[in-house]
Amino acid sequence: LDSLGLSDNTVVVLLGDHGWHLGEHGFLGKHNLMDEATHVPLIVRAPGMRKGSTWSMVEFVDLYPTLCELCGLPEPDGQLDGKSFVPVLEDLSAKTKEEVYIQWGGGDNVVDRRFSYAEWRRGDGSMVSRMLFDHQDDPQENRNVSESGQFGKEMDAFARFIGRIKKKL
């Protein structure tokens, strides 16, 4: 980009795949709602934006509105679920979301800075199973604390968040 004189007006986005689980948590394959399967690399280089890394949470649905903002293009009216993370590119300590949502295989997952909560429900809304991992004490997600009773308030809030998301879908 530098040698072609394009550095000052080109946005580069590099994102990756999470790869395969080779026995972690008893899984052999690509997809589940564990942390290792839901985090992927995301690198954005945009003219005039900060260099470095951030712990701000973003989702792939946030890429389109971010690119629209960076390129000065209008967002399609009423068609996007994501939120631009340009504020994070301008200030690496900024955040645009408190949590992110992941859906796979009939399960719903909410992740915030501390917890990962997943639930599976039947068609009638009754609970089949839940998982809660406290990344502060268990970053590798080896202890499901959903039955401990210690984090009932947090689990209820995550379940309400999932309910709001599912109403939009």
- Quick one: pLDDT at residue 167? 86
Interatomic CA distance for residues 15 and 63, integer angstroms: 10
Alpha-carbon torsion (88, 90, 94, 96), positive or negative? negative
The tokens describing 126, both together, are 């009754």
Q: For the chain, which ranges sit under pLDDT 70?
A: none
Interatomic CA distance for residues 84 and 153, integer angstroms: 30
- Quick one: pLDDT at residue 158? 97
According to DSSP, residue 121 is labeled: E
- Quick one: pLDDT at residue 26? 79
Kindly report the pTM of this predicted structure.
0.87
